[in-house]
Amino acid sequence: MPQVDLIIIGGGPGGYETAAEAAAKGLKVILFERDRLGGTCLNRGCIPTKCLCATAKRLNDIRHADSLGITVPEVSVDFSAVRKRLTEITDTLREGIETVLEGVEVIKAEAALCQGPAVVADGTTYTASDIIIATGSCPARLRADGAETALTSDEVLSLETIPESMVIIGGGVIGLEFASVFSSFGCKVTVVEYCKEILPGFDRDIAKRLRSYLSRHGIDFVTGAEVSSVEDGKRVSYLQKGKEKSIQAACVVSAVGRRPVVPAGLEDAGIATDSRGFIVTDERFRTTLPGVYAIGDVNGRCMLAHAAAAQGRVVLGKNVNLDIMPAVVFTDPECASVGINSEKADESGREYITVKLPYGSNGKALASGEDDGIIKLIIDKENGLIAGCHCVGAHAADLIAEACTAMNAGFTAERLASECVHAHPTLSELLASAAAIAR
């Protein structure tokens, strides 16, 4: 029975980054991956969609170049070339992961849990001082008649041509990124969302503003709609304000969230799951079985690739502030968020100062023709600390990164505005200006 220091099941960002870091510390590590290294993020999620987003962004820039005094002839998309580039990039990154894991024993096999605790793969039992489950998630299925005829997010990435029209069920991160991409590619897109507003969980001002921008780009939104059926993957029937309605398109995409993928043998090994099927963990990501941990999507705490990697660092004993967790939507324009939002601030009972600053107040945004956007800071009135930052507009992800650093460093709005020098003219001045207003 092979014995090592650490066994990790799952080769996604949480699994392979934790494996590499543990090996660098001198631990003997085995990583099991039944499919391809990189997990959903690299192979069916973050990276492939960002390749599509990059093409869509360039298309939009070219189409609106006349605002900068540039006349551009009609442009078109070679979707086969787009797909080829996507494949080349994911292959290159996968090779990079293999290099990072040179100090780790990688076993390409399906792994299951058994009593011990131990792991079984291809008839061999492996034991370790600690075991980490990092098996991720897969697309959830819509609960409606005919839902199986709709495409999942995985299947959308396998499309070989751009459909003329598309209905996307779900106005969350995945649904909106696909909506933004395919609309830019010339597809007529309609997003059907169950909640009253898109991006449930995001700051309400940011979600509303993003919907307005995307609507101007030709995307239709149907909110407060409960889907009742999907017919032949082409027609969606839904209930809205008590009335039955329907919409037809060349294809229907289901983007209603994700469900955990768990290894076999959990129950027999004594590992508990919750009512949704996610593995139950404590604040250190320990499961109900001593010596076994669960990180990433499989525990349902925060279904983001960087969250999985951060949780892995916690398991390895690192001090990581998981309360400051950025989230980004790579639509055009981008949308990003970190910390407390307006709804949570209202419910907290504490007093907060809220500052909203439009991109149009920034010289670089105006000069570059990227003045559609807004940044929002939420400051704790008692101590002056930045409690939340939310942004929709060009390079929102980069602006949120600075806010994350300031929040982790314990900077007040006063310090951010007065002690940190921001280059001029840059979009980063938006954050400094908002902080100056709030101080």
- The residues carrying an active-site annotation are 424
Distance separating alpha carbons of residues 126 and 327, to the nearest angstrom: 36
Distance separating alpha carbons of residues 282 and 170, to the nearest angstrom: 30
In terms of Cα–Cα distance, which of 398, 394, 388, 401 is closest to 435?
A: 388
Whether 176 contacts 331, CB under 8 Å: yes
235 Cβ partners below 8 Å, 6+ apart? 246, 247, 248, 249, 252
DSSP label of 377: E
Measured between alpha carbons, how far is residue 346 from residues 77, 216, 335, 350, 413 in Å?
45, 30, 22, 8, 20
224 Cβ partners below 8 Å, 6+ apart? 193, 194, 195, 196, 240, 241
Q: What is the arrangement of strands in the sheet containing 374-380, beginning at the earlier edge strand?
A: 327-329, 335-339, 386-392, 374-380, 352-358
Altogether, the residues listed in the chain come to a count of: 439
Measured between alpha carbons, how far is residue 362 from residues 30, 36, 373 in Å?
51, 44, 10
Distance separating alpha carbons of residues 292 and 9, to the nearest angstrom: 11
SS3 assignment for 164-232? CEEEEECCCHHHHHHHHHHHHCCCEEEEECCCCCCCCCCCHHHHHHHHHHHHHCCCEEECCEEEEEEEC
Measured between alpha carbons, how far is residue 414 from residues 1, 237, 362, 428 in Å?
59, 52, 20, 16
Block residue for tokens 């390749």:
51
Measured between alpha carbons, how far is residue 173 from residues 101, 116, 215, 308, 412 in Å?
30, 39, 16, 17, 30
Whether 298 contacts 261, CB under 8 Å: yes
For residue 24, report the phi and psi dihedrals to the nearest 5 degrees.
-65, -25
